[in-house]
């Protein structure tokens, strides 16, 4: 309850910031970035979301917090719109289950897009596999509406749930994101190599992009590439950082 109160005050005091982690194609190009929330605490400094997202999710606080994240990412997209170095870069935004299940979730996203002027196809919403599978009818309805507006979707933490191909074909998806727990032991635990190959095969059959997260070693990246994955996110390639760091990377690429 203490932390919940602190979070509420922090939201009011605008103590949150977004960091961005670049996402790379095998050819070295930056193909996007994931927005990750940070709490810039006046005394304790930078606090990672693992320390507070859970508490926010247990309360209703994740709703205004998630909305702030969405708005801030869309403002960033709009700010980049007039700069040829950045205007093609999509941003991925994590959406919590409680936020997604709000009755007005679709309307809020549409409103933020309209108010900021961000181009919808540059916004990719990351929904976890468990969120997607829980109440799949509501998921399909909301995704379908946003899809008609041009918004894209990625399934985060993919492989940790039990998605069947049948379910996946019902969802208007763009991307599967291989959970980092499978990437971690690639080349070490044979079952994880098998799972990753299976996910990449599923993505290919469904004509979806597939991106691996948590790529920390050159060996992991090489194995992923061998298995047919061409998109990567992880400490090996780029840490999450303030937008200025992402812009420097994009300038180097331009």
Q: Using the minimum distance from each CB to Na ion, give the nearer residue, 116 or 139.
A: 139
| 152 sits in which H/E element | strand 152-158
Contacts of 49 (CB under 8 A, 6+ apart): 36, 37, 38, 39
Cβ contacts of residue 168 below 8 Å, gap of 6+?
202, 206
Interface size with Mn ion, residues (CB under 5 A):
3
Among 30, 31, 36, 210, binds ligand G (CB under 6 A): 36
- 210-242 b/e with 16+ CB inside 10 Å = b? bbbbbbeeeebbebbeebebbbbbbebbbebbe
Interaction between residue 129 and Na ion (CB under 5 A): no
Instruction: List the one residue from 34, 129, 157, 193 that touches Na ion (CB under 5 A).
Output: 157
With CA atoms as reference, report the closest residue to 229 among 254, 195, 252, 253: 195
Cβ–Cβ < 8 Å for 183, 215 = yes
Residue 21 interacts with Mn ion (CB under 5 A): yes or no: no
Is the Cβ of residue 81 or residue 216 nearer to ligand G in the bound state?
Answer: 216
- Spell out the alpha helix ranges (H) of 185-217: 190-205
- Smallest separation (angstroms) from ligand G to the CB of 94: 4
Query: With binding defined as CB under 5 A, does residue 94 bind Mn ion?
Result: yes
Give Cβ neighbours of residue 207 (< 8 Å, ≥ 6 apart). Answer: none
Say if residues 173 and 128 touch (Cβ distance below 8 Å).
no
By the rule CB under 6 A, 96 interacts with ligand G: yes
Residues 217-246, interacting with ligand G (CB under 6 A)? 234-235, 240
Shortest separation between residue 56's beta carbon and ligand G, angstroms: 8
Is 59 or 180 the residue whose CB approaches ligand G more closely?
180
Q: Which stretch binds ligand G (CB under 6 A): 6-14, 147-155, 203-211, 212-220?
A: 212-220
**Is residue 154 involved in binding Mn ion (CB under 5 A)?**
no
Does residue number 213 form part of the binding site for ligand G (CB under 6 A)?
yes
Among 156, 174, 192, 193, binds ligand G (CB under 6 A): 156
Q: Which two tokens stand for residue 203?
A: 């993505």
**CA pair distance 131, 246, nearest whole angstrom:** 29
Structural contact between residues 24 and 237, judged by C-beta atoms closer than 8 angstroms:
yes
Specify the stretch interacting with Na ion by CB under 5 A; choose among 4-12, 74-82, 152-160, 200-208: 152-160
Q: Phi and psi of 195, rounded to 5°?
A: -60, -45
Applying CB under 6 A, among 15, 49, 134, 172 the residue interacting with ligand G is 49
* Binding positions for Na ion, rule: CB under 5 A: 156-157
* Binding positions for Mn ion, rule: CB under 5 A: 94, 126, 156
* Binding positions for ligand G, rule: CB under 6 A: 21, 36-37, 48-50, 53, 66, 69, 94, 96, 156-157, 180, 213-216, 234-235, 240
């Amino acid at each position: 309850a203490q932390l919940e109160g602190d979070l509420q005050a922090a939201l009011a005091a605008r103590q949150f910031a977004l960091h961005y982690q670049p996402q790379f194609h095998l050819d070295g190009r930056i193909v996007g970035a994931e927005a990750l929330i940070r709490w810039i605490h006046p005394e304790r400094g930078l606090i990672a979301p693992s320390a507070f997202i859970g508490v926010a999710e247990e309360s209703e606080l994740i709703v205004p917090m998630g909305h702030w994240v969405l708005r801030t990412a869309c403002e960033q997209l709009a700010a980049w719109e007039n700069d040829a170095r950045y205007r093609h870069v999509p941003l991925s935004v994590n959406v919590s289950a409680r936020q997604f299940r709000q009755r007005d979730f679709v309307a809020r996203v549409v409103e933020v897009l309209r108010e900021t002027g961000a181009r919808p196809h540059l916004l990719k919403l990351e929904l976890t596999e468990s969120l997607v599978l829980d109440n799949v009818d509501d998921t399909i309805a909301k995704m379908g509406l946003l899809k008609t507006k041009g918004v894209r979707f990625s399934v985060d933490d993919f492989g940790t749930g039990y998605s069947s191909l049948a379910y996946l074909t019902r969802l208007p998806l763009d991307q599967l994101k291989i959970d980092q727990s499978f990437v971690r032991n690639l080349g070490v635990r044979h079952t994880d190599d098998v799972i990753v190959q299976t996910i990449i095969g599923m993505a290919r059959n469904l004509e979806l992009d597939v991106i691996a997260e948590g790529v920390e070693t050159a060996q992991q990246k090489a194995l992923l590439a061998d298995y047919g994955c061409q998109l990567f996110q992880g400490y090996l390639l780029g840490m999450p950082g303030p937008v200025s760091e992402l812009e420097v990377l994009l300038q180097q690429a331009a």
